[in-house]
């Protein structure tokens, strides 16, 4: 999976939400820093070139849809982040969030329960 830019990732989240969309429908979902229509169209075509989306043609208009599932992207993204920022250690990742007060003891207990149930 090729790495996405922040804007490409933002567009993918919109396409995952909408399931299928024309460029104008994607544009309507962007609330901040809205790009020009042609710029957005280029970004979506780049996503297609990278293998993230495909399209159905209706005359001169294209309706785009994701071909990479959000779950697959999330898994790849998280694996890469853990590898690059936490020395490939889930323990280091959880410790980081605990030290930053981003995860509570109750949430950690819930995670432990999930792990215990899987055994």
pLDDT tens string 18-75: 999 999 999 999 988 899 999 999 999 999 999 999 999 999 999 999 999 999 999 9
Give the position of tokens 């957005």: 40
Quote the pTM value.
0.82
Give the position of tokens 């969309």: 21
Vertex 83 angle, CA 82 and 87, to 5°: 90
């Amino acid at each position: 999976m090729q790495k996405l830019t922040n804007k490409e990732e933002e567009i993918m989240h919109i396409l995952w939400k909408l399931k299928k969309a024309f460029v104008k429908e994607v544009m309507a979902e962007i609330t901040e820093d809205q790009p020009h229509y042609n710029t957005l169209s280029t970004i979506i075509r780049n996503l297609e070139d990278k293998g993230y989306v495909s399209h159905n043609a209706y005359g001169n208009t294209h309706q785009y849809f994701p071909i990479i599932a959000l779950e697959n992207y999330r898994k790849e993204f998280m694996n890469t982040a853990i590898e690059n920022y936490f020395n490939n250690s889930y323990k280091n990742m959880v410790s980081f969030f605990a030290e930053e007060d981003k995860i509570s003891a109750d949430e950690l207990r819930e995670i432990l329960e999930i792990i215990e149930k899987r055994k």
